[in-house]
């Protein structure tokens, strides 16, 4: 069965953005630390014109993975869509600073700067929010302002031939029956530079753009998302390989250090390893409440490595379970003796003292128990 994330991706690809948001929400409920889920939901919200929600998701991405360029790109897109161009440019710059190879973020940053420059000189006296490019999950750029719409300066992409192409399209042609769409189209026809902004407000103009240019922004976004996921998987594999090599190098260093030890120390080191293995067997018997076998294993371990305090405290725990409190106290005092001989481990000694105090308390020797705790 497909995961919620996979279902969300499929819904996004089908342009069912509301459905995609629902699936991503369910995936987030299961794993709220996956930054890509918030990123994908931000993209879906962006495509629906829900810029506040897209911004909130982008900020979640940044909080989870502050070293990911795409999170700042997402935030910048939402800010640009709200018309907050200065803030958007700042976030784009952060994204580029994190990843100088993020071509999309660079392109969108330049688009925002161009838009700001035009707005500053009155080139966009529209009162409409900024437009970072629809880009889907791949975050496609602002198409260079109006790049991709064809023609040079002063040329209009809405020639009579293009208009016929739109009206003859089996799906787009029907949109012209809607008065609101028709009025908005006339506005875009007069100001073609508005198309990218209008696409943000009405997804139908995404299809207008696709028919005019042959560019499917959502498909491009999906491809970019796939590349990102592949890059992420490659990075994870590379990091795992580096950790494996480091572990192997550390094991080799330890082996070399052990080989350099005198024979007596090598023998004791081997005994210590065996003692730990036997202790593990004792732990299994203890959990199974097979106390006689647990005692036998812990005792064997302590004979192999008599300087290890843990074996004595484990024996004390078994004797407490068996209500043999004097034996438990004896084991704790053995641990104290070993510690005083120079094997002073504060945490292990503290555990031994706590076990001793517990045994004294079980015997009704409360004052003595309190004194040990102190």
Cβ contact 31:37 at 8 Å: yes
48-81 per-position pLDDT tens digit: 889 999 999 999 999 999 999 999 999 999 998 8
Taking the C-alpha atoms of residue 77 and residue 58, their distance in angstroms, rounded to an integer, is 9
Q: Which of 309, 316, 374 is nearest to 343 (CA)?
A: 309
Is the pLDDT score of 121 beyond 60? Answer: no
Domain with CATH 1.25.40.10 in the chain: 1-145, 262-373
Is the pLDDT score of 336 beyond 80? Answer: yes
How many other C-beta atoms lie within 10 A of the C-beta of residue 20?
26
Taking the C-alpha atoms of residue 35 and residue 42, their distance in angstroms, rounded to an integer, is 11
Q: Just give the CATH number of 262-373.
A: 1.25.40.10
186-243 per-position pLDDT tens digit: 887 877 777 777 776 777 888 888 887 777 666 666 676 777 777 777 888 888 888 8
Out of 2.40.40.20, 3.40.109.10, 2.40.110.10, 1.25.40.10, the CATH code matching 1-145 is: 1.25.40.10
Taking the C-alpha atoms of residue 294 and residue 313, their distance in angstroms, rounded to an integer, is 12
Taking the C-alpha atoms of residue 33 and residue 61, their distance in angstroms, rounded to an integer, is 9
340-350 per-position pLDDT tens digit: 887 667 788 88
Mean pLDDT of the chain: 81
Cβ contact 23:54 at 8 Å: no
| Residue indicated by tokens 């952060």 | 94
Helix (H) or strand (E) holding 176: none
Per-residue pLDDT band for 118 (boundaries 50, 70, 90) equals: low
Is the pLDDT score of 1 beyond 80? Answer: no
124-161 per-position pLDDT tens digit: 333 334 444 444 444 333 333 333 444 433 445 677 88
Helix (H) or strand (E) holding 226: helix 217-259
């Amino acid at each position: 069965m497909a995961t919620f994330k996979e279902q969300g991706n499929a819904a996004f690809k089908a342009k069912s953005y509301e459905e995609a948001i629902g699936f991503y929400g369910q995936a987030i409920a299961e794993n709220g630390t996956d930054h890509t889920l918030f990123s994908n939901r931000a993209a879906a919200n962006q495509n629906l014109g829900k810029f506040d929600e897209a911004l909130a998701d982008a900020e979640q991405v940044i909080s989870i993975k502050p070293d990911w360029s795409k999170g700042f790109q997402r935030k910048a897109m939402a800010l640009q869509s709200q018309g907050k161009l200065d803030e958007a440019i700042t976030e784009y710059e952060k994204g580029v600073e994190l990843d100088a190879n993020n071509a999309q973020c660079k392109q969108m940053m330049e688009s925002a700067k161009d838009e700001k420059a035009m707005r500053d000189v009155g080139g966009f006296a529209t009162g409409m929010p900024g437009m970072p490019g629809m880009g889907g999950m791949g975050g496609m750029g602002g198409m260079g302002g109006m790049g991709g719409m064809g023609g040079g300066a002063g040329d209009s992409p809405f020639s009579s031939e293009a208009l016929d192409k739109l009206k003859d399209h089996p799906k787009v042609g029907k949109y012209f029956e809607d008065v609101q769409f028709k009025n908005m189209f006339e506005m875009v026809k007069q100001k073609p530079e508005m198309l990218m902004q209008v696409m943000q407000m009405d997804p139908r103009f995404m299809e207008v753009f696709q028919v005019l240019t042959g560019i499917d922004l959502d498909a491009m976004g999906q491809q970019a998302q796939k590349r990102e996921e592949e890059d992420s998987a490659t990075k994870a594999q590379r990091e795992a390989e580096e950790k494996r090599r480091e572990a192997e190098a550390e094991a080799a260093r330890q082996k070399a250090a052990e080989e350099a030890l005198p024979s007596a120390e090598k023998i004791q080191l081997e005994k210590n390893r065996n003692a730990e293995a036997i202790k593990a067997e004792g732990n299994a018997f203890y959990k199974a409440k097979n106390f006689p076998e647990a005692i036998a294993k812990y005792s064997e371990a302590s004979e192999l490595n008599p300087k290890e305090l843990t074996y004595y405290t484990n024996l004390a725990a078994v004797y407490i379970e068996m209500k043999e409190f004097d034996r438990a106290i004896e084991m704790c005092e053995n641990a104290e003796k070993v510690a005083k001989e120079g094997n002073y481990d504060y945490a292990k000694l503290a555990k031994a003292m706590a076990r001793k105090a517990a045994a004294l308390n079980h015997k009704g020797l409360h004052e003595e128990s309190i004194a040990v705790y102190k």
